[in-house]
A and B are shown apart, each in its own frame.
Chain A
Amino acid sequence: MDSKIPHGEMDKKWDDYKGHVKLVNPANKRKLEVIVVGTGLAGASAAASLGEMGYKVKTFCFQDSPRRAHSIAAQGGINAAKNYQNDGDSIFRLFYDTVKGGDYRAREANVHRLAEVSAAIIDQCVAQGVPFAREYGGLLSNRSFGGTQVQRTFYAAGQTGQQLLLGAYSALERQVALGNVTQYSRHEMLDVVTIDGKARGIIARDMVTGELERHFGHAVLLCTGGYGNVFYLSTNAMGSNVTAAWKAHKKGAYFGNPCFTQIHPTCIPVTGDHQSKLTLMSESLRNDGRIWVPKAKDDKRKAIDIPEEERDYYLERRYPAFGNLVPRDVASRAAKERCDAGYGVGTTKLAVYLDFADAIKRYGKIEAGKTGNHHPSDEEAIGLGKAVVKEKYGNLFEMYDKITGENPYEMPMRIYPAVHYTMGGLWVDYELQTTVPGLYALGEANFSDHGANRLGASALMQGLADGYFVIPYTLGNYLADEIRVNAIPTDHPAFVETEKAVADRLNALMNIKGTESVESFHKRLGKIMWDKCGMARNEQGLKEAIVEIQQLRKEFWSNVKIPGEVNEFNTELDKAGRVADFIELGELMCIDALNRNESCGGHFREESQTEDGEAKRDDENFSYVAAWEYKNDSNWELNKEELNFEIVKPTQRSYK
């Protein structure tokens, strides 16, 4: 494995790289075809940018339109080192916060580049007409997010992901109109085609007709998001899946740090077995909401009847420096700790309060003061304060109300951690290329920038950085050597054989004709993963999980029941293929978690903790990226990319 990190000073690497990278001239770009799988922030921005440059691009998404990709659901915001607030932000600070936030398990050079291009992302989005929140003077507004002490997050109410995705989508549609991009919706990539060791195309299934299609590309970009749905319940969309990345893995792409999962602290708690997904309440709420549980165990009183002195604001107590704005992994574990100790609230006792009463009063007093009323009554202040909170978080409060039937302006929200994001993903080098030449991974689908824990508002930044500002440069360095390769006809034996293997697998699934539904298998997998490879992990549990998953896999392939036919619109068949891949991935995640006998970021091994229960890293033995190479069924080989920290020296992370 060569991570291809450029030589030289950290803050010069990217500029030097761009200055010396190979270029493809415009006439040659027209002859080069690029396949982009997935049309979220990373995919749409990459496809639009490459189309603008003159490459012939094809995009694929399983939804009915690229605009539906799950980036759309990101709520809180996007980070950028603009320092518009004059609060001491800089590229270095964003870089430093991200490396530290990731608990020193990210690659420094990639993170530095991310921080460098962050400002240009905001410029690009504003130019596209993305309506970010603004101040009365007409300039852009910022807010804070966890794990930082500056205000560098740009936002559009609680719908930032939507606005950014629609910006990238509109740029993409413009390229479709200009004929530079061909768009395939309701298509699912079911394998990568490799010829002489290079990625040369894909096999995709038209999900309406069930027909398999062959598509050639000089390069293939996977922008297919994360794999949080391996846990069944997560904040991901129902269709989010690992299939494209997993097929690439089985064709030779190493999988990096698969066990690094982000459990987000503020989600609406599970209500029952019928639950199909979990809904996030944006981290931005922790700017103004205070998290607490009762000081007494099993306190049956309503939240508003519990007096101030009987409440335990445990994040403020444990982490006075960052308070409610500690990083996600820390906040999630602290919630779990309180609930496990018996202080949880709500019917399931697996929830804590997120309370806005103080913020409402505080904002109300400020508003009253603006009109000269310096001693408003509580009632006046609360009325005015609610309006301020509504403007900031209105859509989130409404969403909470719709789901729970409770009004969060009147009583605190109940929240609990839930699977949200996967830092792990396909291993890529500095150029975002996987271990298969010509095969790239962008956005959440790769492993590179967030280490063992992602900071809030950094996923949108990374997806767009990869698509708008990284791949347009790095892809040329590969394609410059491909200009003599003519488009390979798709009757080439590699296409024929790969398509046959895909068809055989689909038929094998259809022919099982067992008795248990796909959904049931998925739920069973999710339970194993959540119980044994979730917020806390230990050797015994992981070993048990590996055996259970292997057993589940056998059962799946002998007893799954898929109705309908292979050559038609068949959502159960779509799901079956994805769950089959999730089962294999689940095993690898447990193997990776077992191998990594340290705690770092979102990966908490119970055997490795400090006296006060914080994650304890083991830099001597685990300062590496675990890049797993697929050998055959249930058999992987571990490759290590050593992490060298030139700038940010690893220390025990402290938010106290």
Chain B
Amino acid sequence: MEHYNMNLTLKVWKQKNSKAKGSFETYQVKNISSEMSFLEMFDVLNEQLIEENKEPIAFDHDCREGICGMCSMYINGQAHGPWQQNTTCQLHMRAFKDGDTIVVEPWRSRAFPVIRDLVVDRTSFDRIIQAGGYISVNTGNAVDANALPIDKKDADAAFMAAACIGCGACVATCKNGSAMLFTSAKVSQLALLPQGAPERESRVLNMVAQMDKEGFGNCTNTYACEAECPKGISVSNIARMNREFLSAELNSED
């Protein structure tokens, strides 16, 4: 790969706390290497701001290898930026060229209030999992792992759904702020596996109810979530969740 350096203009959302009014600030960064990751470019900017006695920009990040789901920047109108199936931390500066202007915003959704600058509160996702995103098996209850053979096809499909990193790009991207892709990924994973069968109906009903309670919007099948999902979680999970939901409702005794 040929490497190059670039100068960039950044327009970044600044917001002191959840109650304050936010606004865009403009920054210039120079000599950014095409080999840097997007967050390393932010490191450079923050070091520069500290040097200039200005407030650095708060942003969430941790593993920087695309798996923890903590990073969450809305870059030039796209969750996690221009590359497909990619997180912000894995986005590299070779995606940009000298002289570019880059606009960076936090995830925007009613259910993800801004904490500061680009940092948002995603604890609503934890509460959706608490509503039923598990199999009720206490430690020590398990039978031998090979006692229950599982069709490779189902196991692979469950894995594909389980690959969700819980970053919230689907919500941030959706014009309705829907969490259907996130919720359906967990519902699908557990519905595809025989271990998930005993709680199959209560799980989907409770998780969907919690999702609604948190203020996430409805799904209107635009599929923007799938297009922006860094892990390629398929919207077929949403279809599966809808089927699970309908069948659970029909069987519901209430």
Contact = CB atoms under 8 A, between A and B. Distances in A.
A and B from one complex: yes
Interface of A: 45, 48-49, 52, 63-70, 72-73, 82, 84, 120, 122-140, 156-157, 159, 161-163, 166, 169-171, 173-174, 176-177, 183, 185, 208, 235, 237-239, 271-272, 274-277, 279-280, 398-399, 402-406, 468-469, 472, 517, 519-520, 561, 563-564, 568-569, 571-572
Contact of A173 (B130, B151, B163): B130
B138 A52 contact: yes
A129 B135 contact: yes
A444 to B, nearest CB: 15
Contacts of A208: 115-116
Contacts of A185: 123, 126
Contact of A404 (B1, B62, B86, B149): B1
A170 B133 contact: yes
B129 A170 contact: yes
Interface in B105-162: 115-116, 119, 121-123, 125-126, 129-131, 133-146, 148-152, 155-156, 158-159, 162
Contact of A406 (B1, B54, B141, B195): B1
A237 B150 CA distance: 34
Contacts of B134: 128-129, 170-171, 173-174
A517 B47 contact: yes
A131 B139 contact: no
B115 A569 contact: yes
B130 A177 contact: yes
B246 interface: no
Contact of A519 (B47, B85, B122, B146): B47
Contacts of A136: 152
B193 A131 contact: yes
Nearest to B87: A402
Contact of A70 (B63, B146, B151): B63
A64 B122 contact: yes
Given A49-B138, A276-B39, A569-B119, 17 more contacts: A52-B138, A65-B122, A65-B123, A65-B125, A69-B68, A84-B146, A120-B140, A138-B149, A169-B129, A177-B131, A237-B68, A271-B35, A405-B94, A469-B139, A520-B47, A564-B55, A569-B115
B82 interface: no
Contacts of B44: 274
B172 interface: no
A70 B63 CA distance: 7
Most buried by B among A131, A159, A170, A563: A131
B152 A82 contact: no
Contacts of A140: 145-146
B189 to A, nearest CB: 6
A239 B150 contact: no
B146 A402 contact: no
Contacts of B56: 563, 571-572
Nearest to A135: B152
Contacts of B65: 73, 235, 277, 279-280, 399
B17 A569 contact: yes
A45 B138 CA distance: 11
A564 B195 CA distance: 50
B193 A124 contact: no
A185 B86 CA distance: 25
- State the 6 A-B residue pairs at the shortest beta-carbon distance, nearest first: A138-B149, A170-B134, A127-B142, A123-B142, A131-B159, A405-B1
Nearest to B137: A127
A64 B139 contact: no
Given A127-B195, A405-B94, A237 B125 contact: no
Nearest to B145: A126
B130 A176 contact: yes
B66 A52 contact: no
B68 A68 contact: yes
26 contacts: A63-B70, A64-B123, A66-B126, A68-B62, A69-B68, A73-B63, A73-B67, A127-B137, A131-B158, A132-B155, A133-B159, A134-B152, A170-B134, A176-B126, A177-B130, A237-B63, A239-B62, A274-B35, A276-B39, A277-B65, A280-B65, A403-B37, A405-B1, A517-B50, A520-B47, A569-B119
Nearest to B135: A129
A640 to B, nearest CB: 35
B51 interface: yes
A472 B139 contact: yes
Most buried by B among A128, A132, A468: A128
Contacts of B47: 517, 519-520
Most buried by B among A64, A171, A469, A572: A64
A134 B149 CA distance: 9
Contact of A67 (B35, B51, B166, B195): B166
Contacts of A272: 33, 35-36
Contact of A156 (B116, B146, B159, B195): B159
A208 B85 CA distance: 30
Contacts of A563: 49-50, 53-56
A254 B172 CA distance: 46
B58 interface: yes
Interface in B59-76: 60-70
B129 A163 contact: no
Nearest to B31: A274
A534 to B, nearest CB: 21
B145 A52 contact: no
Contact of A131 (B53, B144, B189): B189
B13 interface: no
Nearest to B72: A64
A272 B47 CA distance: 16
A173 B131 CA distance: 8
Nearest to A209: B17
Most buried by B among A73, A136, A274, A403: A274
B64 A134 contact: no
Given A70-B63, A517-B51, A65 B166 contact: yes
Contact of A138 (B137, B151, B166): B151
Nearest to B158: A131
Given A131-B162, A569-B116, A159 B67 contact: yes
A173 B126 contact: yes
Given A177-B131, A399-B66, A569-B116, A138 B152 contact: yes
Contacts of A128: 134-135, 137, 195
A135 B232 CA distance: 24
A170 B149 CA distance: 22
Nearest to B151: A138
Given A129-B158, A157-B159, A519-B43, A122 B35 contact: no
A272 B3 CA distance: 12
B43 A274 contact: yes
B90 interface: yes
A238 B64 contact: yes
